A and B are shown apart, each in its own frame.
Chain A
Amino acid sequence: MIIILLQQMLNGLQLGSVYALIALGYTMVYGILRLINFAHGDIFMISCYFGFFAACAFLSNSIPTWLTFIATMMVSMLLTALVSVLIERVAYKPLRYAPKVSAVITALGIGLFLENFTLATLGPTPRGMPALLPNINYRLGALSLSSVQILIIVISIVLMVLLDRVVQKTMTGMAMRAVSYDKPTASLMGVPVDGIISATFAIGSAVAGAGGVLYSLAYPIINPYMGVRIGWWAFIAAVIGGIGNVRGAMLGSYILAFVEVFTPMVLPSSTYRDFVAFTVLLIVLVVRPTGLMGRVTAQKV
């Protein structure tokens, strides 16, 4: 029993790491624009496709495997960041001073567009991500641990720590926090607001791009609708942690992953996981309306 529990916790860590990489994008954009970027799940899906095509292209040449993996990651991160900055410039920027609802609806529209565009151009057939790295199983007593699992957890944690440092310590990070705090004042202080917003989108999506490649290593089936479920879950994770808060997004992601992994152990079937996840979300919102680590903001009168 303990072994199963530990094994499931490992799976939870793996899943939570991927969720966290996606949840970061939601939370960063919300922090800076107060916009729920509903298209982010589909941006994750696009990144999986980028990873898939890059992997196919690189695998046909005789490059060492570790280099293929790194190159695939880089290509996916770069292209995803580019797409997302493009979306921000074309669709969100004209709406920056419009009522917030218009921007949220635009985000929903962009998400649907990405999904259906992928469906129309690439077809509904799922694609199998080729194995980029040899998957070696290690045994730790009765526990089994795969190399992919270790890789996902390690890379995610490195990326998260890196991102946290960027936001807390660098000039760009400081500018981001300034813009999130007060846009007009930041602008008066010489912060290039538009550039910083684009940078936020780029960083958030690049991280999701890395998440896409890592996810498709562990669960190698890619289809146009995969972003819907994973996107929603990452989004709930961000909200549970307190949307707008980078560390909260990570916390929320691990909580949610454990919920997902342990639901089938308590309830008869894994189909209850959506129900459990959203119930957890509702309870958190009722008890702490701004999430576990969210700042409580007083409404201005």
Chain B
Amino acid sequence: MGPKSRITLVLVILGFVLCILVERSGLLSAYILQISMYVGINIILTLSLNLVNGYMGEFSVGHAGFMAIGAYVSSIITVRVFHNQMGPLVFPLAIIVAGIVTAATSFVVAFPSFRTRGDYLAIVTLAFNMIVKSVLENIDALGGPRGFMGMGRLTNLANVYAWCLVTIFVVRNLVYSNFGRAVLSIREDEVASNLVSVNTRQMKIMVFLIAAFFAGIAGALFAHVMQFINPRSFAIQKSTDILVMVYLGGIGSIFGSVLGATVYTVLLELLRPLGVWRWVVGPIMLVVLMICRPTGIMGLKELTGLIPREERVLGKKEETDVVTASN
């Protein structure tokens, strides 16, 4: 273990201690705690969507569908299977099962992606989102359109923080591995990457699996902060929110996703005094951003600390290539 990774480890542990302290001491109001958890959940969602939209260059617009599945599966486990007993012990298990089940459903989206790309794949993901919502609305055992409740408040800051770190860690290591290079090559030119013997089908399945897994986990965390979920909270508006965070922060950038999720969540909260008009200001910001800086805040750049050391010089060169090719 080098000195750098020792520092990282210390920082991670410090973060954990801080999370627990802050929550126990009551230094921060419940409102701020809640917002911090939303920020964390949104970071997970944004990173996982960035994997598909930013790194693989597909255009998925139905991420909230995956989130819904995670939310419902985890809630069924904690409420219906364990009847709210042994909450803190069962919860991590529920989260992971929710992630796995959600990942399994990603095949619905992954298979059509073999044949279609671009707009038509966007439509497939959209249809997926709508179908999930519609099915949930029609299952009476899960409350139908009225929603599902009875979850304990099992999500806490430390929980969210841990999953955020896991997501960042996994995405970062994936992106800077051979696997990541193969995924990037699909974004740049699918035919060419097939020619250099990248198994594009396998790559697509894997990326959708991983993205759905983390979206499911975010859904599980979300359900146990809100303690109430209904199909409408996972409608296309939610998917749009996640898209906005990805493109606000900048596609193909881990730090960008973290920044995008944080800025967007906090900003919407700060705009709360505007009432209904806050929902008018948000879309205007998005449109202006797209016109003035279509690459987002980070614009395909990465925070140097997140790039493996041996890649740093190489990484610079790659960025310029990416900018020219992303059109």
A residues bordering B, Cβ < 8 Å?
30, 34, 36, 91, 94-95, 98-106, 108-113, 116-117, 119-120, 228, 232, 236, 239, 243, 269, 271-272, 274-275, 278-279, 281-282, 285-286, 289-290, 299, 301
Query: B86-94, B113-121, B164-172, B306-314: which lies at the A interface?
Result: B113-121
Residues of B within 8 Å of A94, CB to CB, are 291
Chain B min CB distance to A184 (Å): 15
Residues of B within 8 Å of A101, CB to CB, are 53, 59, 247
Question: In the complex, A228→B240 CA distance in Å?
Answer: 13
Sampled A-B contacts (29; CB under 8 Å): A34-B119, A36-B122, A95-B291, A98-B290, A98-B294, A99-B327, A102-B294, A105-B243, A110-B283, A112-B240, A112-B282, A116-B276, A116-B280, A116-B283, A228-B236, A232-B130, A239-B120, A271-B134, A274-B131, A274-B133, A278-B130, A285-B112, A285-B120, A285-B124, A286-B115, A289-B115, A289-B116, A289-B120, A290-B120
Cross-chain contact A99 with B294 (CB below 8 angstroms): yes
Question: In the complex, A105→B294 CA distance in Å?
Answer: 10
Binary interface profile of B, 283-327, with partner A (CB < 8 Å = 1, else 0)?
Answer: 110110011001000000000000000000000000000000011
Q: B277 in the interface, Cβ–Cβ < 8 Å?
A: yes
Chain B min CB distance to A189 (Å): 25
Q: B191 in the interface, Cβ–Cβ < 8 Å?
A: yes
Cross-chain contact B122 with A275 (CB below 8 angstroms): no
Chain B min CB distance to A40 (Å): 14
Residues of A within 8 Å of B240, CB to CB, are 108, 112
Chain A min CB distance to B209 (Å): 19
Q: B21 in the interface, Cβ–Cβ < 8 Å?
A: no
Question: In the complex, A89→B237 CA distance in Å?
Answer: 25
Closest B residue to A277 using CB positions: B130
Question: In the complex, A301→B291 CA distance in Å?
Answer: 30
Other contacts beyond A98-B294, A106-B291, A279-B131: 20, CB < 8 A: A91-B287, A98-B290, A104-B119, A105-B247, A110-B283, A111-B283, A112-B282, A112-B286, A113-B283, A117-B280, A120-B276, A120-B279, A232-B236, A272-B134, A272-B138, A274-B130, A274-B134, A278-B127, A282-B128, A285-B112
Cross-chain contact B138 with A269 (CB below 8 angstroms): yes
Closest 8 A-B residue pairs measured CB to CB? A116-B279, A113-B283, A109-B286, A274-B134, A275-B134, A112-B283, A102-B294, A278-B127
Residues of A within 8 Å of B17, CB to CB, are none
Question: In the complex, A278→B138 CA distance in Å?
Answer: 15
Tell me if A's interface is mostly helix, strand, loop or mixed: helix
- Which of B53, B112, B291 makes the CB contact (< 8 A) with A286? B112
Q: B20 in the interface, Cβ–Cβ < 8 Å?
A: no
Residues of B within 8 Å of A289, CB to CB, are 115-116, 120
Cross-chain contact B283 with A95 (CB below 8 angstroms): no
Cross-chain contact A119 with B134 (CB below 8 angstroms): no
Residues of B within 8 Å of A111, CB to CB, are 283
Question: In the complex, A94→B276 CA distance in Å?
Answer: 28
Chain B min CB distance to A280 (Å): 9
Cross-chain contact B135 with A110 (CB below 8 angstroms): no
Chain B min CB distance to A83 (Å): 15
Residues of B within 8 Å of A274, CB to CB, are 130-131, 133-134
Q: B244 in the interface, Cβ–Cβ < 8 Å?
A: yes
- Which of A98, A109, A279, A285 makes the CB contact (< 8 A) with B116? A285
Residues of A within 8 Å of B53, CB to CB, are 101
Question: In the complex, A269→B135 CA distance in Å?
Answer: 12
Closest A residue to B326 using CB positions: A99
- Which of A34, A110, A243 makes the CB contact (< 8 A) with B287? A110
Cross-chain contact A120 with B280 (CB below 8 angstroms): yes
Residues of B within 8 Å of A286, CB to CB, are 111-112, 115
Chain A min CB distance to B300 (Å): 12
Question: In the complex, A34→B286 CA distance in Å?
Answer: 21
Chain A min CB distance to B49 (Å): 13
Question: In the complex, A4→B189 CA distance in Å?
Answer: 54
Cross-chain contact A271 with B122 (CB below 8 angstroms): no
Chain A min CB distance to B146 (Å): 12
Closest B residue to A238 using CB positions: B123
Residues of A within 8 Å of B123, CB to CB, are 36, 239, 281, 285
Question: In the complex, A20→B258 CA distance in Å?
Answer: 42
Residues of A within 8 Å of B237, CB to CB, are 112
Q: B137 in the interface, Cβ–Cβ < 8 Å?
A: yes
Question: In the complex, A275→B138 CA distance in Å?
Answer: 9
Residues of B within 8 Å of A102, CB to CB, are 247, 290, 294
Cross-chain contact B134 with A120 (CB below 8 angstroms): no
Chain A min CB distance to B74 (Å): 23
